[in-house]
Amino acid sequence: MNLRNDIRNVAIIAHVDHGKTTLVDELLKQSDTLDGHTQLQERAMDSNDLEKERGITILAKNTAVSYKNTRINIMDTPGHADFGGEVERIMKMVDGVVLVVDAYEGTMPQTRFVLKKALEQKLTPIVVVNKIDKPSARPAEVVDEVLELFIELGADEDQLEFPVIYASAVNGTSSLSDNPADQEPTMNPVFDTIVEHIPAPVDNSDEPLQFQVSLLDYSDYVGRIGIGRVFRGRIKVGDQVALMKLDGTAKKFRVTKIFGFFGLQRVEIDEAKAGDLIAVSGMEDIFVGETVTPFDHQDALPILHIDEPTLQMTFVVNNSPFAGKEGKYVTSRKIEERLMTQLQTDVSLRVDPTESPDAWVVSGRGELHLSILIENMRREGFELQVSRPQVIEKEVDGTKCEPFERVQIDTPEEYMGGVIESLSQRKGEMQDMVNTGNGQIRLTFLAPARGLIGYSTEFMAATRGYGIMNHTFDQYLPVVKGYVGGRRNGALVSIDTGKATTYSIMSIEERGTVFVEPTTEVYEGMIIGENSRENDLTVNITKAKQMTNVRSANKDQTSVIKKPKTLSLEESLEFLNDDEFCEVTPESIRLRKKILNKSEREKASKKKKTEI
């Protein structure tokens, strides 16, 4: 069996924030790839604005570096479960994984999720214990935790013999010793271990072609681009080939362009062979999981499994009194076009039409997945309204089931009771409790996903901001009966249209928490705050003070109001109830009732009660 010893294909996997992207930056800097003129930005692989701002990887990226005559293809993957669909498909493209684990935090829910996917594909693992320079680092315990996780996930004997490298990606140092004093200013131990331990791809380039698409990209110039691996044979520009569709049919097309990856560049190449990771254009409707083969030798690879969406929201054309004032794209045609474009590259997303031509049901892998799409749309100039997120139930063996998540919480001991109580109210079941030292407790729960919608705000309050919560989809289980999460307090709703005044806000403050500042434009039916009680309360926030000709020397100067609570997009989505919309425009995020008029709202709620 011939091997291509000049090449290695590897994916970097880890929990959110454990340093994957920073590690890839260092590997790029310290390899023989970039010439001296290339200035590398921090987290160079995170290319879009949202990734840079939030410090997270949303889309999987690939790059390639040169090291001692070996080309190492590196896939940088997202850590959030919401983008887990990306991680799964990448596992098919590589022969090994570099598992990055924080030297203090150790194994986390996402570490478990990504490692499970890698072990299922029988990939060869290497472990990098990162952030070894942290004063609180505990490398020996972390390696034990990783070994336990491997055993728990059913790793075979070869996989359990994983090599460990200790590194500080941010400082560009690494070493094979777990003593921070032994760190050396080089990434060579990482490179050497990859070359030595990760298997080289099999060279079967003289057999008939098999190229499978694992990721999609889109370019205005060449249309859809399929990114994947050549599993067998060769592919050349100008070849007439067959695209084996998911439904079993075959389409003929000509390969117009092939791109290879090197450093941060996509480079046009004429030919690729078995083991190469490439991008191919020339096919209009190529989709993830499809195989490109010779026309006279149609032999498709098994279809890639993509995780089903677990959460859905309704996207609606903005019809509030302020519609069209701040956005560039407001029509249903424009919104639908934009959602269809998103489907070109995001395979975990579903968009379904509804009876109304102005509304669509958009399903994704979680709140973060959908809120990133909404945030991108508003930055591009779209105006729209979205409903409260709802979990997608499905039938398993005749039983109605809902998605459950594994929740891991790290909290100071004194807040533990509050966390356990609040999660059990949301039907969470405690699975494990470990004292991690320094007064910190690690709790593991299994909780219904709908109980976690809107929980993060309550969690931050319960732990005074000291708690850390991570959760990831675990499995579908029978639907839990009774109250599961949701907002307990009612809303403060404006009865009038106009500008909010300091005078009105002062009188409303004692009723609850106000979300708007003085002089903010409001409309009838807009939510301007949260009531301190369970019912909705209609208030007049636009009333001005009656001017009289009697003046008190110190009266007006004492008008001091509390700073209003400003909600981010995620907090606004979490706040929503079933009868409310979040109105999103490039400049504002507003909350509103679906029925704006107070008397019509009351009629509708009476009607609903009689129906129940």
The answer to whether 19 is a known ligand-binding residue is: yes
The rounded distance, in Å, linking the Cα atoms of 293 and 207 is 11
The answer to whether 251 is a known ligand-binding residue is: no
Judge contact between 493 and 536, C-beta under 8 A.
Answer: yes
Q: What is the Cα Rg of the chain in Å?
A: 27
Judge contact between 239 and 211, C-beta under 8 A.
Answer: no
Amino acid (1-letter code) at residue 597: N
Q: Angle 432-435-438 (CA atoms, 0-180°, nearest 5)? A: 150
Token pair for 363: 């399903």
Judge contact between 460 and 428, C-beta under 8 A.
Answer: no
The answer to whether 197 is a known ligand-binding residue is: no
The answer to whether 418 is a known ligand-binding residue is: no
The rounded distance, in Å, linking the Cα atoms of 124 and 585 is 47
Burial 279-291 (b: 16+ CB within 10 A, else e): bbbbbeebebbbb
The answer to whether 341 is a known ligand-binding residue is: no
Judge contact between 207 and 178, C-beta under 8 A.
Answer: no
The answer to whether 20 is a known ligand-binding residue is: yes
Judge contact between 185 and 168, C-beta under 8 A.
Answer: no
The answer to whether 130 is a known ligand-binding residue is: yes
First to last CA, the chain: 69
Which residue is associated with the tokens 């807040």? 415
The answer to whether 46 is a known ligand-binding residue is: no
Judge contact between 389 and 475, C-beta under 8 A.
Answer: no
The answer to whether 593 is a known ligand-binding residue is: no
Measured in degrees and rounded to the nearest 5, phi and psi for residue 177 equal -100, 145
Measured in degrees and rounded to the nearest 5, phi and psi for residue 275 equal 100, -20
Written as one string, the DSSP assignment of 294-315 is: ETTS--PPPPPP-PPP-EEEEE
How many separate helices (H) and strands (E) can be counted in the chain? 15, 35
The answer to whether 22 is a known ligand-binding residue is: yes
The rounded distance, in Å, linking the Cα atoms of 541 and 528 is 8
* Residues placed in the known binding site for GTP: 17-22, 130-133
* Residues placed in the known binding site: 17-22, 130-133
